[in-house]
C-alpha cells in the first residue's frame, strides 16, 4: 500500500467531512484525456462522469494542509483549468446554461461569479437559465420565473452578463416574460424530445421579437439527488453522502468566434450539506 497516497486520501476525506459547501470545477473537458475517452449517452451521464472523475483526481492529488479547514471546499484540477488570457478575450464567446436544482436567487449570482473567476473573465457573453421544475402537477408560471429573472437582470445591469435567455418556455409563457421583463430574453432553448417540430406560434413570436430559438436535449431534471450522491460516493470513495444536496449546475462553453470551434467546455457544480 502507498502510505503517502493513504495520507493524502485521509486529508481529503477530512476536508470533505468538515465542509458545509462543496464546489466542483471539472476543468476543460476538451483537454482532459480521462474524459475524452468517454462517450456519454446523455447530458446526465456526462455530468455524473465529470463529478466522479473530478473528485477522484482531486482526492488523489490533495496535499496535506496546515491551514484551518474551510466551510466551502473547492475541488478543481489546476492542470485542467481553462482560464482565458486577456489578449484572447475578444475572440472568445463565453456561453453558459445554469440549472437551478433548488429555488434561490443567491445561487444565480454565486454560479456566475464562480464561472467568471474560473475562466478569468469579467463578463459572460450569455447565460440561459433552467429554473427548478414546478411542483408536481403544476405548470410553469410567470410568477415562478420572476425571482430568478430579476436576479439575472441585476447581473446584466452590473455587466456581469451581456445577454440572458430561457429554457423550455412555450409561446404564451415566453410572451408573458417578454412583456414583463426589463431585460428581454435574447434566446429560448427548446427540447426537441418533447416536440419534434418547432411550434409555429413560438417560431413566429421569436422571429417578430428577435429571440433566438436553440434546440437542446437536456432532461427536465439534469441530475437526481440519488445520482449526485452516488457520483460523490464513487469519486470520493466515502460510504455516506446522503447529507449532500445538489444546489446548482452551470455548464459552460468557450467558442472561438472566427473559427466556430469549441476551445473549452466544462461544468461547475455546487452542493450543500443538509442541516442536522
What is the mean pLDDT of each successive set of 10 residues along the chain, which is 276 residues long?
Answer: 45 78 89 59 89 88 59 78 88 96 84 94 96 69 93 97 96 97 96 78 96 92 89 81 86 94 93 77
How high is the pLDDT of residue 61?
77
**pTM of the full structure:** 0.89
pLDDT of residue 235: 86
Is 69 within 8 Å of 235 (Cβ atoms)? no
pLDDT for 203 equals 94
The count of other CB atoms within 10 Å of the CB of residue 64 is 11
- Across the chain, where does the E strand assignment appear? 21-25, 72-76, 92-100, 124-130, 161-167, 187-191, 212-216, 244-256, 261-273
What is the dihedral sign for C-alpha 26, 28, 33, 38?
positive
Amino acid at each position: 500500500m502507498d502510505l503517502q497516497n493513504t495520507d493524502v486520501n485521509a486529508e481529503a476525506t477530512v476536508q470533505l467531512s468538515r465542509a458545509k459547501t462543496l464546489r466542483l470545477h471539472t476543468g476543460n473537458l476538451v483537454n482532459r484525456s480521462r474524459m475524452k475517452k468517454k462517450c456519454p449517452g446523455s447530458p446526465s451521464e456526462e455530468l455524473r462522469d465529470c463529478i466522479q472523475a473530478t473528485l477522484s483526481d482531486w482526492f488523489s492529488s490533495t496535499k496535506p494542509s496546515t491551514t484551518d479547514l474551510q466551510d466551502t471546499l473547492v475541488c478543481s484540477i489546476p492542470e485542467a483549468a481553462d482560464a482565458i488570457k486577456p489578449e484572447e478575450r475578444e475572440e472568445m464567446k463565453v456561453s453558459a446554461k445554469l440549472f437551478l436544482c433548488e429555488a434561490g436567487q443567491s445561487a444565480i449570482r454565486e454560479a456566475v461569479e464562480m464561472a467568471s473567476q474560473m475562466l478569468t473573465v469579467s463578463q459572460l457573453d450569455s447565460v440561459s437559465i433552467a429554473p427548478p421544475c414546478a411542483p408536481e402537477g403544476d405548470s410553469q408560471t410567470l410568477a415562478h420565473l420572476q425571482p430568478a429573472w430579476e436576479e439575472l437582470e441585476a447581473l446584466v445591469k452590473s455587466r456581469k452578463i451581456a445577454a440572458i435567455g430561457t429554457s423550455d418556455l412555450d409561446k404564451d409563457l415566453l410572451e408573458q416574460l417578454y412583456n414583463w421583463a426589463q431585460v428581454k430574453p435574447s434566446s429560448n432553448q427548446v427540447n426537441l424530445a418533447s416536440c419534434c417540430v418547432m411550434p409555429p406560434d413560438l417560431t413566429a413570436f421569436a422571429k417578430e421579437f428577435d429571440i433566438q430559438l436553440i434546440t437542446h436535449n437536456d432532461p427536465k431534471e439534469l441530475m437526481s439527488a440519488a445520482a449526485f450522491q452516488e457520483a460523490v460516493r464513487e469519486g470520493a470513495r466515502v460510504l455516506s453522502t446522503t447529507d449532500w444536496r445538489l444546489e446548482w449546475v452551470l455548464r459552460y462553453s468557450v467558442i472561438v468566434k472566427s473559427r466556430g470551434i469549441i476551445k473549452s467546455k466544462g461544468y461547475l457544480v455546487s452542493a450543500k450539506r443538509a442541516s442536522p
